């Protein structure tokens, strides 16, 4: 196994976070490197989900106000607990909706076309749902997306130059929506710099944090970001379809929500049942209807783990895992047709390594047959996300070793080079 394996063993032995692996349901016969699509279940998340069921069992309707975690205040409470992960004030965050729904909500709130300032700026590598939401928001206001949705172009098909983004912030742009981390290449966009540039030009800016929340610390409040949205089922490990989250900067505290629903009411007014709504005076105002308690409950336990591990320590280990992986790719997979397509600098890359290969689809199938769960992105992408909570350096070693074996023995040729329905 040699020197590289010994190094993995050493890194595992000096890993301050190694104890957290036992907090998760990790299957020893498979290596799970897909925490950037769906994080694994933790025992804590399981417990808080069962607690929510217990409340229902015990209290029925009174679960809204009784029990350890009364449901009526859960969305705000989880917002408060999420705030440290993104550098927000507690009142700026609420756990609600999903990335797509929250984007609809905040674009309908922040997109305020005026005169010739009517366009929305996005990026041509954006996650499709973000683009669909922007297109329909424009259509609802009577604007043609063909003309009013403009895109920053990527020169290499993977990443963006921040200067190229800033150049597109022209007079006619009313709103900018960008990812904090690109979902394929894992490139981090410099949120602070882009926010300053947008505000210098009097443009509102929001970020999709799906691939950065839980990966590295943010300072959304200090950076002055106008709004942000995210999901909690990826790096936050809150389960399939978990309730998402949103951030609205305090300076917009009194901005009327574009979409309104009774759960956006001031808590003490909601049950007055009046037809003129009194919105909450914080991010809670952007909620719509009754919260999905059973899909929010896992997040209670999950966030406890973040509090205990600390965002800085998690980031440090994540960078070490992915750095070690890139070293192994370069030493063991040389000349096999792989390219590392994520940025190399620590301050420019997110939580996963992004490999490209012509045969990526069937290489991923061969990896699965070898007990490794990767994440395929058509047409050529293999995302490998070692999660600092539960993955180890020796697992990284084994994944690259199996990849080497698959390429040398050409076992991937047994499979069709085509994606599955969900990939």
- Respond yes or no: is residue 21 known to be catalytic: no
- Respond yes or no: is residue 111 known to be catalytic: no
Q: Which residue in 24, 32, 227, 233 is the catalytic one?
A: 233
Q: Is residue 222 annotated as involved in ligand binding?
A: no
Structure tokens at 199: 């505000």
Of residues 99 and 158, the one with the C-beta less far from ligand PLP: 99
Q: Is residue 208 annotated as involved in ligand binding?
A: yes
Of residues 246 and 329, the one with the C-beta less far from ligand PLP: 246
353 in Cβ contact with 35 (< 8 Å): no
Question: Cα angle vertex 202, ends 196, 206, to 5°?
Answer: 60
Structure tokens at 26: 């990790």
Q: Write out the binding residues for ligand PLP, residues 192-221 only, by CB under 6 A.
A: 208, 210-211
Token look-up 């106008």 returns: 226
* Three-class DSSP category at 378: coil
- Respond yes or no: is residue 233 known to be catalytic: yes
In degrees and rounded to multiples of 5, residue 376 shows phi and psi of -90, 135
Which residues are registered as beta bridge partners of 95? 245
Q: Is residue 127 annotated as involved in ligand binding?
A: yes
Of residues 80 and 99, the one with the C-beta less far from ligand PLP: 99
Among positions 34, 76, 130, 356, the unique one binding ligand PLP when judged by CB under 6 A: 130
Of residues 209 and 321, the one with the C-beta less far from ligand PLP: 209
Q: How far is the CB of 122 from ligand PLP (least distance, A)?
A: 11
Structure tokens at 179: 């990812």
- Per DSSP, 154 falls in state P
- Respond yes or no: is residue 184 known to be catalytic: no
Q: Contact letters (x/-) for ligand PLP, 80-109, by CB under 6 A?
A: ------------------xxx---------
Of residues 362 and 383, the one with the C-beta less far from ligand PLP: 383
Among positions 183, 389, 390, 397, the unique one binding ligand PLP when judged by CB under 6 A: 183
Q: How far is the CB of 126 from ligand PLP (least distance, A)?
A: 7
Q: How far is the CB of 233 from ligand PLP (least distance, A)?
A: 7
Among positions 129, 154, 270, 417, the unique one binding ligand PLP when judged by CB under 6 A: 129
Q: Is residue 298 annotated as involved in ligand binding?
A: no
Cα separation, 321 vs 12, in Å, equals 10
Q: How far is the CB of 390 from ligand PLP (least distance, A)?
A: 20
DSSP 108-120: HHH---BTTB-EE
Q: Is residue 49 annotated as involved in ligand binding?
A: no
Q: How does 348-357 read in b/e, with b if 16+ C-beta sit within 10 Å?
A: bbbbbbbbbb
Which residues are registered as beta bridge partners of 20? none
Cα separation, 239 vs 298, in Å, equals 7
Of residues 184 and 249, the one with the C-beta less far from ligand PLP: 184
Residues in contact with 395: Cβ distance below 8 Å, sequence separation at least 6, in sequence order: 31, 33, 386
DSSP 208-230: E-TTTTTTS---HHHHT--EEEE
Cα separation values, 132 from 39, 89, 152, Å: 25, 30, 16
Of residues 179 and 279, the one with the C-beta less far from ligand PLP: 179
* Three-class DSSP category at 121: strand
Among positions 63, 179, 186, 301, the unique one binding ligand PLP when judged by CB under 6 A: 179
Of residues 75 and 91, the one with the C-beta less far from ligand PLP: 75
Interface with ligand PLP (CB under 6 A), residue total 13
Cα separation values, 227 from 84, 223, 244, Å: 16, 11, 14
Q: Write out the binding residues for ligand PLP, residues 296-335 only, by CB under 6 A.
A: none
Cα separation, 73 vs 85, in Å, equals 20
- Respond yes or no: is residue 266 known to be catalytic: no
Q: Is residue 100 annotated as involved in ligand binding?
A: yes
Q: Which residue in 234, 255, 317, 377 is the catalytic one?
A: 234
131 binds ligand PLP (CB under 6 A): no
Rg over alpha carbons for the chain, rounded to the nearest Å, is 22
Cα separation, 363 vs 406, in Å, equals 8
Cα separation, 53 vs 296, in Å, equals 12
Task: Select from 58, 62, 39 the least CA-distant residue to 50.
Answer: 58
Q: Is residue 249 annotated as involved in ligand binding?
A: no
Q: How far is the CB of 278 from ligand PLP (least distance, A)?
A: 29
Q: Is residue 211 annotated as involved in ligand binding?
A: yes
Q: Which residue in 15, 34, 123, 208 is the catalytic one?
A: 208
Residue ranges that bind ligand PLP, judged by CB under 6 A: 98-100, 127, 129-130, 179, 183, 208, 210-211, 231, 244
Catalytic residue IDs:
127, 208, 233-234, 383
Binding residues for pyridoxal 5'-phosphate, by number, are 99-100, 127-130, 208, 211, 233, 262, 290
């Amino acid at each position: 196994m040699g020197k590289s394996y010994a190094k993995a063993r050493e890194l595992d032995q000096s890993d301050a976070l190694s104890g957290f692996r036992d907090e998760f349901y990790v299957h020893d016969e498979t290596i799970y490197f897909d925490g950037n699509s769906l994080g694994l279940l933790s025992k804590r998340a399981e417990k808080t989900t069962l607690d929510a069921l217990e409340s229902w069992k015990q209290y029925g309707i009174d679960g809204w106000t009784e029990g350890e975690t009364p449901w009526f205040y859960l969305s705000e409470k989880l917002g408060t607990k999420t705030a440290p992960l993104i550098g927000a004030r507690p009142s700026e965050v609420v756990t609600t909706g999903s990335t797509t729904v929250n984007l609809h909500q905040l674009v309908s709130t922040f997109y305020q076309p005026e005169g010739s300032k009517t366009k929305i700026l996005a990026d041509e590598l954006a996650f499709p749902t973000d683009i669909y939401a922007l297109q329909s928001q424009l259509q609802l206001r009577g604007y043609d997306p063909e003309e009013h949705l403009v895109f920053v172009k990527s020169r290499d098909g993977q990443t963006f130059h921040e200067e190229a983004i800033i150049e597109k912030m022209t007079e006619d742009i009313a709103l900018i929506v960008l990812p904090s981390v690109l979902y394929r290449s894992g490139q981090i966009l410099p949120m602070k710099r882009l926010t300053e540039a947008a505000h210098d030009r009097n443009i509102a800016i929001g970020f999709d944090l799906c691939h950065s929340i839980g990966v590295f610390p943010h300072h959304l409040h200090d950076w002055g970001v106008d709004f942000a949205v995210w999901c909690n089922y990826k790096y936050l490990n809150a389960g399939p379809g978990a309730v998402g989250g949103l951030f609205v900067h305090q300076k917009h505290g009194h901005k009327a929500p574009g979409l309104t629903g009774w759960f956006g009411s001031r808590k003490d007014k909601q049950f007055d049942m009046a037809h003129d709504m009194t919105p909450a005076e914080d991010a809670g105002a952007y909620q719509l209807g009754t919260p999905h308690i059973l899909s929010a409950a896992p997040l209670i336990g999950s966030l406890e783990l973040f509090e205990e591990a600390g965002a800085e320590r998690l980031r440090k280990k994540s960078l070490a895992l992915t750095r070690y992986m890139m070293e192994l790719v370069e030493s063991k997979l040389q000349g096999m047709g792989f390219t590392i397509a994520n940025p190399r600098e620590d301050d420019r890359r997110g939580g996963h390594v992004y490999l490209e290969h012509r045969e990526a689809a069937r290489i991923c199938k061969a990896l699965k047959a070898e007990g490794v769960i990767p994440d395929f992105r058509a047409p050529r992408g293999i995302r490998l996300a070692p999660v600092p909570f539960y993955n180890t350096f020796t697992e990284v070693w084994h994944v690259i070793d199996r990849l080497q074996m698959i390429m040398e023995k050409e076992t991937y040729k047994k499979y069709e080079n085509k994606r599955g329905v969900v990939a």
